[in-house]
Amino acid sequence: MIGDVIITGCAGLVGHAVRLRLEREGVSCMAVDLVPAEVEGRPVLGCDLVDMPRLRELTAGRSVAAIVHCGALSGPAVGRNSPLQQVSVNIVGTANMLELGRELGISRFVYVSSVSAYGDCHGEDLDERTPLRPTNVYGATKAASEMLVIAYAADFRIPAVSLRLSMVYGPRRETACCLRDMLMSGLTGSPMRLEWGHDLRRQPIHIDDAAAAVVGALKAPGFRQGAYNITGGVAVTFGEAAEIVRDLLLRADILLGTGMVEGDNIQGSHSIAAAARDLGYRPQVDLRRGLAGYADWLRDRPGPEQGGAGA
């Protein structure tokens, strides 16, 4: 790859993991996030995604090969009370990154979308032809951004793709995450009581697999469709995940009710067959091993308070 890969949201969970993976392969990355930062000793440039003049200024004169767009208000719970801000950051931010890519003449754009774009789903092994019917503003911002990605790809011949990630877990996750709260209960012995979650299904994906999928999309020779489901491959309820946590950490004291989280959606299981075929994507970290590693990480670094289910 000749030129830099711009990674937005690079102080965040997915962006940082993608950066580490690319830099290990010798790829030069330009890391961007809302405020300047240093993450594990690596500098991140500050720029608001909605500030197009600043994005242009940062990239002026640089050779840029690709953009990985991870920057967003991530998850239905983040910015739930400021839906217009979700729209601005997530949709306008994506439009700005696509436009920047057009101006810079990039050869690949990878947009990190979400299965939240589907809204409520009840089926098994649903492929990417499943209609997008988002049930929260966050999901709508992901669906709308995907449309922009498709339009820029068609109109300006930018090889661009959207990856619909399921719930990502693992070290460095800072946003609300039910799995982390379960592990914290196991590590501290503190009770975790929720009125919801027991029957809520997700296909958790470990951060290492999510980053591998993004890198796979950067390297893929081409795309046969505009979007790909990227999950951990196995659907579990939070009740089943709690069983694994109890088995790993005997002190876990978790009681989940059968209600729903306000603003969250029902998720079926999403097929990853197309991603396996076109991106060479195959999840490597099974849930039990991933949770054990996440617990090891949390042991040294207690996380924030209990929150929502996680995207």
Ligand X SMILES: NC(=O)c1ccc[n+]([C@@H]2O[C@H](COP(=O)([O-])OP(=O)(O)OC[C@H]3O[C@@H](n4cnc5c(N)ncnc54)[C@H](O)[C@@H]3O)[C@@H](O)[C@H]2O)c1
With contacts defined by CB under 6 A, name the span among 71-79, 218-226, 245-253, 261-269 that binds ligand X: 71-79
Q: Kindly tell me which residue out of 72, 144, 158, 242 binds ligand X, with binding defined by CB under 6 A.
A: 72
Q: Kindly tell me which residue out of 4, 33, 181, 278 binds ligand X, with binding defined by CB under 6 A.
A: 33
Nearest distance from C-beta of residue 287 to ligand X, angstroms: 14
Do the strands 4-8 and 64-69 form a parallel or antiparallel pair, or are they unpaired?
parallel
The answer to whether 74 touches 67, Cβ cutoff 8 Å, is no
Q: Minimal CB distance to ligand X: which residue?
A: 12
In 10 A of CB 189, how many CB atoms?
Answer: 12
The answer to whether 3 touches 65, Cβ cutoff 8 Å, is yes
Amino acid at 204: P
Distance from C-alpha of 228 to C-alpha of 122, rounded to nearest angstrom? 18
The answer to whether 39 touches 16, Cβ cutoff 8 Å, is yes
264 binds ligand X (CB under 6 A): no
- Pattern 4-23, binding to ligand X, x per CB under 6 A? -----x-xxxxx--------
Distance from C-alpha of 256 to C-alpha of 214, rounded to nearest angstrom? 33
Nearest distance from C-beta of residue 227 to ligand X, angstroms: 12
Tokens (6 digits) for 14:
């997915």
- Pattern 156-195, binding to ligand X, x per CB under 6 A? ---------x-xx-----xx--------------------
Q: Given the rule CB under 6 A, which residues bind ligand X?
A: 9, 11-15, 33-34, 48-50, 70-75, 89, 93, 112, 114, 165, 167-168, 174-175, 310-311
